[in-house]
Amino acid sequence: MKLHEYQAKEIFAREGIPVPMGRIARNPREAFEISREIGSEVVLKAQVLVGGRGKAGGILFSSLEEVEEKSRKIFSTEIKGERPELILVEERLNSVKEFYLGITFDRSRGRPVVMTSSEGGVEIEEVARRSPEKITWVEVDPLKGIYPYMIRKLSRPFPKEVRKEAHEIIAKLYEIFVKYDAELAEINPLIYDGKKLVAADAVLNINDDSLFRQNFKREEEGIEGIASKEGFSYVTLDGEIAIIGNGAGLTMATLDAVEMEGGKAANFLDIGGGVPPEGMKKALEIVYMNEKAKLVLVNVFGGINRCDEIAQGIRMFFEERGGKLDKPLVVRLTGTNEEEGRRILEEIGIEVYKDLREAVKSAVRRVKNDTSL
């Protein structure tokens, strides 16, 4: 479960990590009133659960006079298919230097990994690719916790005058990571304003399996929220080919296959196992909501899921839309009852393949030759 930035910052502040002065606005007038209370230039930040909001115009700096106009613009901006319902209005920080601090659970190591970097404000993956020497990291035994010597090592990228403060923030973020059953806790950037360190951004992702003991209500928005309520794993991506698969491994392999053929995935949707026809129909309804997707690719290996039931769900969706789809549908079916599944789809004119590579090639080719869609 992803938390909004404002929710993560509320937790950070409660646990003793410095955050900028600010509050949530639900309309442009509220944004103006909050800005007037702050009394200085502000930053307006769309509260959405997808990435890339800065590039999409979801983060704007503003003077008091421009706040209503700029917040109105953010409220009307679609960010990867989602329109923000909330804006976080915060004081604009004076940034002397930006740092990175993050904690994630490394499944290959079976333990948390804590990272710091002297390069904040950019994705840590980009820093790792370009300048890996600028990342300091330690892995932590979850049964023993983080030791002071580890924190001292992680504090090295910070200026000497705030190293003690950095030490405290690292320790507190690790406490939050454990206390809230997090899969990811991140401050990027952690800003040094010449006097102190402040968490300019905040990310906190909670393990779904721990929600029974965490006091959080799901506040997922848009397509991801709808998919979550249906029990599907869904992630919005930047491409043009919407993908449905059964099982995380198969769905990821489908994304890779699309990438290898020169295409880009618009989403990741894993329907899981034992999905009835109604569930398949619902999965299609969800991916067809993605306005950026130009084509839908379904890849199902029939095991627990039966190919004939998957095909029945596709037929239900097709017939519900009067036999007309606004996005082409390409299906790869193999496994249990695949002959019956293929027969059902061929009867209604759906493009169906047995070989994944052939299905992917067809999907990518049709998207590239846009006129044929």
Q: Which residues are catalytic?
A: 100, 186
Question: How many CA within 13 A on the CB side of residue 21?
Answer: 13
Alpha-carbon distance of 250 to 113, in angstroms, equals 27
Distances (CA, A) of 163 to 14, 45, 218, 330: 21, 29, 36, 56
Integer-rounded Cα Rg, in Å, for the chain is 23
Pick from 164, 229, 225: which is nearest to 196 by CA?
Answer: 164
Judging by beta carbons within 10 Å of its beta carbon (0-12, 13-18, 19+), is residue 86 exposed, middle or buried?
A: buried
What are the start-end ranges of the H helices in the chain?
5-14, 28-38, 67-75, 124-130, 148-154, 163-179, 222-229, 248-260, 277-287, 307-320, 338-347, 356-368
The dihedral built from the CA positions of residue 206, 208, 209 and 210, taken in this order, carries a sign that is positive
The DSSP secondary-structure symbol of 122 reads: S
Alpha-carbon distance of 351 to 330, in angstroms, equals 5
Can you tell me which residue has the tokens 């300091």? 136
Evaluate whether 113 touches 140 at the Cβ level (below 8 Å).
yes
